[in-house]
Structure 1
Amino acid sequence: MKSLLSNLKIDINDKIYLKDPQSSDLGKRIIANSIKLIDDIGFDSFTFKKLGNAIGSNESSIYRYFDSKHKLLLYLTSWYWAWLEYQLVFSTANMSNPNEKLEKAINILTRTIEADSTFEHIDEVVLSRVVINEYSKSYLTKEVDEENKDGYFSIYKRLVTRLRDMIIGVNKDYKFPHSLASTVLEGALHQHFLKDHFKSLTDCDHKIQPSDYFTHLVFNALTTNK
């Protein structure tokens, strides 16, 4: 899979950025350092001025790529979901057993992220922490409906649809495939957050992973509704 991914470019909705950051060394440094800086200080404290200082460039140079830090966050989260989608597609492409395919998909979408050397300017482990902590800020806005119409969340929605289709493949009579699929993706972020910050509110720990919980949850839901 790694050799296949190395030849791929992750495509993000071009309405999110002014200039594709993957097209230049500066753009890649903006992405790499924004991930690290948001992880360090949080999205609320993050500014383009601070990012400019981190990369040794003028704040104005960052505005040539993104017109706001909100758009930058949308870019980062979209990239993350697209990266997971590629892993999902390649890992399940040749699987014919629907139960095994769904179990594999749940594991990919909910597991603890490990380092991936395919994309040198992206630290996926750090990016996953950014998504866990900050993803909701990309859509809990007054502009969410308009941005949804413009396709800003299309990759995330496509990923939910892929998981929904696999759920239907296991149990075509299950009444809530969309809700279950979106619960898995959104719930995985929440369980990882609880595991790291509110340990008394989750059963997940260093032994029990969110992927264990969601595999149990999904297959029990599908079995009881057969």
Structure 2
Amino acid sequence: MQHILSNIKITINEKLYVKDPETSELGRNILKKSIELIDKIGFEAFTFKKLGEQIQSNESSIYRYFENKHKLLMYLSSWYWSWMEYRIIFATANVIDPFQKLEKAIQIVTENIADDEATPYINEQLLHRIIIEEFTKTMRTKNVDDENKAGFFLVYKRVINRLVSIIEEINPDYAYSKSLASTVVESALHQQFLKQHLKTITNFSENDCSSAFFIDLVKKTIS
């Protein structure tokens, strides 16, 4: 699957950038170094000035690609969820049994993430940590409704709706498929956060994978 994914061009909403960063060496370096810097210092402390120092370029060169750091974080989040969606698509494409499809899809959205060397300018392991820590900041803003209308969260919602469709395939009479699917995706990130920072209120240690818990939870809920 990784060989197939390495040939996929992830497409991001054009409204999130001024110039597509994947079309130039500087743009790809902006993505690479922004992931490393946000992971290191956090989104609040992250600035384009600090990023400029990392890429050894003027701050103004970053503005040629992104209007502000919020749009950059939304771009990185969209890239992550697009990558997740492709992984779900390929993992479940030839699976007939809906329960097996459910297990594979939940596994992908809940497992610990390792870097995929097929994308040298995107470190998925670091990006996953950023999503755990910072993704809610893309939505918990006063502009969320306008940004939702602009399609900024479309790919995130598609990931959830892929789970919804599998749940409804298994049990079309279950009344809360959307709420259950979105709870799994959000709770998976929350459990990742807890096992790294608030370890006394989760059953998982830092290196544990929570997939079995979520698979069991969904199966029992919709049975």
* Bin of the TM-score, shorter chain as denominator length: over 0.9
Matches of 1:2 and 1:106, distance apart in 2: 18
Residue equivalent to 2:138: 138
Equivalent AA in structure 2 for residue 41 of structure 1? I
Give the unaligned 5+ runs of structure 1. Answer: none
Residue equivalent to 2:183: 183
Change beyond 3 A, Cα 1:53–1:206: closer
User: Percent sequence identity over matched residues?
Assistant: 53
Residue equivalent to 1:216: 216
**2:96 equivalent to 1:96:** yes
Matches of 2:35 and 2:114, distance apart in 1: 16
Matches of 1:97 and 1:70, distance apart in 2: 41
Residue equivalent to 1:168: 168
Residue equivalent to 2:109: 109
Q: Aligned runs of 1:1-226 on 2, under 5 Å?
A: 1-206=1-206, 208-223=208-223
Contact 2:196–2:206 (Cα < 8 Å) also in 1: no
Matches of 1:215 and 1:204, distance apart in 2: 15
Q: 1:50-94: CA deviations, max 9, x gaps?
A: 000001000000000001000000000100000011110001100
Q: Residue 46 of structure 1 aligns to a residue in which SS?
A: coil
- Deviation for aligned residue 1:137: 0.5
Q: 1:116-173: CA deviations, max 9, x gaps?
A: 1121110000000000000000110000000000000000011111110011111111
Q: 1:2-38: CA deviations, max 9, x gaps?
A: 2211221100000000000000000000000000000
Q: Residue 204 of structure 2 aligns to a residue in which SS?
A: coil
Equivalent AA in structure 1 for residue 43 of structure 2? F
Q: Residue 14 of structure 2 aligns to a residue in which SS?
A: coil
Q: TM-score under structure 2 normalisation?
A: 0.98
Contact 2:77–2:131 (Cα < 8 Å) also in 1: yes
Name the Cα RMSD after superposition. Answer: 0.9
| Runs of 4+ residues deviating >2 angstroms | 206-209
Q: TM-score under structure 1 normalisation?
A: 0.97
